[in-house]
Amino acid sequence: MPFIGPDVTLNNPAYVHDSALLYGKVTVDKHASIWMNVVARAEHKEIVIGEYTNIQDFVMLHIGDKTSTVIGSHCSITHHCTIHGCTIGDNCLIGINTTIMDGCVIGENSIVAGHSFLKEGTVIPPNSIVMGTPGKVIRTQNNFVRNRLNAYMYYRNALAYASGDYRAWSTESFPHEVAEEVRRLSALVEAGEV
């Protein structure tokens, strides 16, 4: 059964699926999306999900013994991730089935590859690509456009799902919308605004 606890704050998210289970002090900011079978538990400390961030199917969010879980804006936390008492900066993509443990800090515009494991206290600088068990930085590059585009696609999909449209990405206009968003985001980078 779906459950949104009394301490949960929903600040106008784009979509929260009926199967989500959110317990304790959890904040979901505007335009964020919570997908199928997501579980979030904050018995103490808190969980914060930033604007336009998507928490995809079967993700588990929990707090650490001493640390909250804070996820920035425009992030994609992809299927089957475990996010446990860590901080994830803006514009990050966390790959499928990744585990990020207590006290980790992921810098903005980073990508953590699928099936990675980041042990307690790992600090990742901004603009990193991380892989492995334990996860290590394998390359540095600005992933802003790529990660913001993924978040944009999930935001558009969330709006569609909220209205009962489960095929938004298949429309004839969608590739043009995506191309326009790439142009807009790339212009921000070229202008030095990000």
Residue pair 111/93 in contact by the 8 Å Cβ criterion: yes
Residue 43 is predicted with a pLDDT of 97
Classify strands 128-132 and 135-140 as parallel, antiparallel or unpaired: antiparallel
Alpha-carbon dihedral sign for residues 97, 102, 104, 105: positive
Domain map (residue ranges) of the chain: 3-140
DSSP-assigned letter for residue 20: -
| CATH class as words, domain 3-140 | mainly beta
177/152 Cα distance (integer angstroms)? 10
- Nearest Cα residue to 73 out of 152, 137, 163: 152
Report if pTM > 0.95: yes
Q: How far apart are CA 163 and CA 148, in angstroms?
A: 23
Tokens encoding 174: 């969608």
- For the chain, residues with pLDDT lower than 50 are none
Q: What's residue 194's pLDDT?
A: 84
Predicted local distance difference test score (pLDDT) of residue 114: 98
Buried b (16+ CB within 10 A) or exposed e, 67-85: bbbbbbbbbbbbbbbbbbb
